Amino acid sequence: MSANANFYLNDPALSPYFNSLPVAVRKIILDSGVEVSTLGELQQIAEHYRDNLVSE
């Protein structure tokens, strides 16, 4: 497991939402290396990537 995955999984504010995301979206977020500090930021990033996956 990557350090980025641990970041999301160990944060009680982010973990439930991160775990609810499709695997492809989680992988994109982890591969991007981005670390967010709020649930709102994570939701915005996830929706952006989810929308991009749907439109492809």
Residue 56 scores a pLDDT above 70: no
pLDDT, position 53? 79
Q: Which of 34, 36, 42 has the alpha carbon at shortest distance from 16?
A: 42
Domain ranges of the chain: 3-55
Residue 55 scores a pLDDT above 70: no
Residue of 51 and 54 predicted with greater confidence:
51
Q: Which of 29, 37, 47 has the alpha carbon at shortest distance from 11?
A: 37
Integer Cα distance of 44 and 33 in angstroms: 15
CA–chain centroid gap for 52, Å, is 14
- Over residues 1-52, the pLDDT tens digits come to 667 788 888 899 999 999 999 999 999 999 988 878 899 999 999 999 888 8
Looking at the whole model, is its pTM more than 0.95? no
